[in-house]
């Protein structure tokens, strides 16, 4: 094989879902020993394209070449046999098993190893790629960054030479992200080809060798990363206009209390206490798994508090959820947009009505014509693509589905908003729009923002709290520069 020949060549790949063209005649080369960043707005077709390369779905037309030979990747097993593996945002691990057992799980060959021998091999691979995990460790005891390393080890153990990373830093601390990039550079040095999907343009500029930009299902540009001068230029190439991910944060005078949490102990939480007032955003940062989920579930009435008091809009939580109305109350924007926020098998109109139907209901009847008019307006206002309220939720990209959820919840004019990872998976333009909407919403609401994106917390929050080991270890003003400098250490448990 010619050393300049790509290890993977996609030639005129097309894929449609009904009338929606997800990919249209895409041609793209992926080279060994290089990192290719795949960029594009939400719904541009990135995930669809990579799902075909990973064997999860099949193209309608076009050809995939592996080292110059046409291949049909009819399943994930076929992709793995070709040396192609994908690291997903949501890990697929068995928590009760060890690292080595998870790595070996699902291997289809006849390789027989003792536990000790398997653990030694896995630990050796981890050491070569500068990972900090040991084969004998139990997955349940690992941090999110370490769990991600296990997912990577699963692919390396199977000798994968083409690795696809889909938003890999979404659940990592800054330090863990740096460790991941060290591992990726080591893999690149070993000649492996890497595809890196991310909306964080600073990361793309620091790690990528090549950049490909998708727009509405087509490749609109390929370039070497060295040819791009700044993230602003990259964003403009991606979106088609100048985009700056920053907001004009003007502090407001906090008014009446909309949320008070006092001595909350549930789901392992250790006496969490704080309050939020109308006119402010309280941002909670921390690595996923440090108590954010039970906190959110308790505030939103999805989990009963074992100990402590939660007061919402001046009412005890039990009375609030027994009497609350559909509007001017609480809006919850969950992290799980495909499981909790929406129903995948319903169309967008019915998903819109999940939390707004009381606003359109007339006696026992639910006429949908007015709801459809309002949804069409919101689709335009929030730039949800494709602009078709009859599409099913699963037919939208993750980012566009998130925009649908945001449009629905802000339509309810809430006085308390719980926003859990509101811009995760959104492109730079959409994320900027969400930031401005959240800041504007402070006029009428107090906002609890749960985010793993430190820059998002710093841009939006009036006060910032850090969670570690299921405790709120600190809560301070955005003006407290000394404490802000210590956030990465606090997120990692270093007091």
> What is the distance between the alpha carbons of residues 126 and 120, in angstroms, rounded to a whole number?
10
> What is the distance between the alpha carbons of residues 345 and 338, in angstroms, rounded to a whole number?
10
Q: What is the pLDDT of residue 130?
A: 86
Q: Give the chain's mean pLDDT.
A: 90
Q: What is the mean pLDDT of residues 254-271?
A: 95
By CB atoms closer than 10 A (0-12, 13-18, 19+), residue 333 is: buried
> What is the distance between the alpha carbons of residues 443 and 279, in angstroms, rounded to a whole number?
6
Out of 99-108, 178-187, 293-302, pick the least confident: 99-108
> What is the distance between the alpha carbons of residues 116 and 100, in angstroms, rounded to a whole number?
9
Is 110's pLDDT higher than 60?
no
pLDDT digits (tens, 9 = 90+) for 275-297: 999 999 999 998 877 899 999 99
**Domains of the chain listed by start with CATH number:** 8-239 (3.40.50.300), 257-491 (3.40.50.300)
Instruction: Please report which confidence band the pLDDT of residue 96 belongs to, taking 50, 70 and 90 as the band edges.
Output: very high
Instruction: Please report which confidence band the pLDDT of residue 111 belongs to, taking 50, 70 and 90 as the band edges.
Output: low
Closest CA to 18 of 454, 392, 342: 392
By CB atoms closer than 10 A (0-12, 13-18, 19+), residue 90 is: exposed
| Strand arrangement, sheet containing 463-468 | 330-333, 416-420, 446-451, 281-285, 463-468, 471-477
Is 330's pLDDT higher than 90?
yes
pLDDT digits (tens, 9 = 90+) for 344-389: 899 999 999 999 999 999 999 999 999 999 999 999 998 888 889 9
Is 436's pLDDT higher than 90?
no
Q: Tokens for 413?
A: 């004019």
Is 198's pLDDT higher than 80?
yes
Out of 104-118, 182-196, 271-285, 365-379, pick the least confident: 104-118
Instruction: Please report which confidence band the pLDDT of residue 258 belongs to, taking 50, 70 and 90 as the band edges.
Output: very high
Which residues share a beta bridge with 218?
A: 215
pLDDT digits (tens, 9 = 90+) for 387-429: 899 999 988 877 788 889 999 999 999 999 999 989 877 777 7
Residue pair 122/149 in contact (Cβ under 8 Å)? The answer is no
Instruction: Compare 112 and 424 and report the one with higher pLDDT.
Output: 424
Q: What is the pLDDT of residue 333?
A: 94
Q: What is the mean pLDDT of residues 462-466?
A: 97
Q: Would you mind telling me the total number of residues written for the chain in this entry?
A: 495
Instruction: Please report which confidence band the pLDDT of residue 453 belongs to, taking 50, 70 and 90 as the band edges.
Output: confident
Closest CA to 192 of 355, 50, 36: 36
Is 319's pLDDT higher than 70?
yes
Q: Which residues contact 256 (CB under 8 A, 6 or more apart)?
A: 277, 278, 314
> What is the distance between the alpha carbons of residues 101 and 236, in angstroms, rounded to a whole number?
45
Q: What is the pLDDT of residue 242?
A: 58
> What is the distance between the alpha carbons of residues 135 and 260, in angstroms, rounded to a whole number?
44
- DSSP code of residue 12: E
Residue at token pair 């139907």: 357
Which of helix, strand or coil describes residue 67? coil
Out of 4-13, 62-71, 154-163, 165-174, pick the least confident: 165-174
Percentage with pLDDT > 90 across the chain: 63
Q: What is the pLDDT of residue 396?
A: 85
Is 332's pLDDT higher than 70?
yes
Q: What is the mean pLDDT of residues 147-175?
A: 88
Q: Tokens for 89?
A: 């945002």
Q: What is the mean pLDDT of residues 328-351?
A: 91
- As a whole number of Å, the end-to-end CA separation of the chain is 53
Q: What is the pLDDT of residue 335?
A: 84
Q: What is the pLDDT of residue 2?
A: 58
């Amino acid at each position: 094989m010619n050393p300049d020949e790509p290890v993977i060549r996609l030639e005129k790949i097309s894929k449609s879902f009904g009338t929606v063209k997800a990919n249209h005649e895409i041609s793209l080369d992926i080279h060994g020993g290089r990192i290719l960043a795949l960029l594009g707005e939400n719904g541009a077709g990135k995930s669809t394209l990579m799902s075909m390369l990973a064997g999860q779905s099949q193209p309608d037309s076009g050809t995939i070449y592996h080292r110059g030979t046409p291949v049909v990747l009819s399943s994930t097993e076929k992709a793995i046999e070709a040396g192609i593996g994908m690291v997903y945002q949501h890990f697929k691990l068995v928590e009760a098993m060890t690292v080595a057992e998870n790595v070996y799980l699902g291997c289809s060959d006849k390789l027989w190893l003792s536990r000790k021998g398997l653990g030694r091999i896995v630990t050796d691979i981890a050491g070569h790629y500068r990972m900090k995990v040991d084969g004998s460790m139990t997955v349940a005891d690992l941090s999110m960054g370490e769990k991600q390393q296990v997912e990577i080890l699963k692919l390396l153990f199977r000798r994968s030479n083409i690795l696809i990373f889909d938003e890999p830093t979404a659940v990592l601390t800054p330090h863990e992200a740096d460790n991941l990039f060290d591992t990726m550079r080591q893999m690149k040095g070993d000649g492996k080809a890497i595809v890196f999907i991310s909306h964080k343009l600073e990361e793309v500029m620091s790690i990528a060798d090549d950049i490909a930009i998708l727009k509405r299902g087509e490749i609109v540009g390929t370039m070497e990363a060295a040819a791009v001068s700044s993230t602003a230029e990259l964003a403009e190439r991606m979106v088609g206009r100048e985009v700056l991910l920053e907001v004009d944060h003007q502090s407001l005078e906090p008014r009446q209390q909309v949320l008070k949490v006092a001595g909350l102990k549930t789901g392992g939480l250790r006496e969490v206490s704080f309050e939020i007032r109308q006119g402010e955003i309280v941002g909670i940062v921390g690595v996923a798994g440090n108590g954010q989920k039970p906190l959110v579930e308790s505030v939103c009435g999805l989990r009963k508090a074992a100990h402590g008091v939660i007061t919402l809009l001046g009412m005890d939580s039990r009375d609030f959820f027994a009497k609350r109305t559909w509007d001017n109350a609480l809006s919850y924007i969950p992290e799980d947009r495909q499981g909790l926020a929406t129903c995948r098998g319903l169309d967008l109109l019915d998903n819109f009505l999940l939390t707004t139907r009381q606003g359109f209901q007339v006696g026992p009847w639910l006429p949908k014509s007015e709801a459809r008019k309002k949804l069409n307006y919101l689709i335009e206002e929030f730039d949800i693509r494709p602009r078709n309220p009859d599409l099913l939720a699963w037919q939208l990209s993750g980012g566009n589905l998130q925009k649908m959820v945001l449009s629905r919840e802000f339509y309810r004019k809430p006085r308390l908003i719980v926003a859990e990872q509101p811009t995760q998976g959104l492109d730079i333009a959409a994320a900027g729009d969400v930031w401005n909407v959240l800041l504007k919403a402070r006029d009428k609401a107090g906002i609890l923002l749960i985010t793993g994106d430190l820059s998002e917390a710093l841009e939006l929050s009036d006060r910032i709290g850090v969670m570690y080991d299921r405790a709120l270890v600190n809560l301070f003003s955005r003006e407290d520069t000394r404490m802000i400098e210590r956030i990465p250490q606090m997120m990692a448990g270093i007091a």
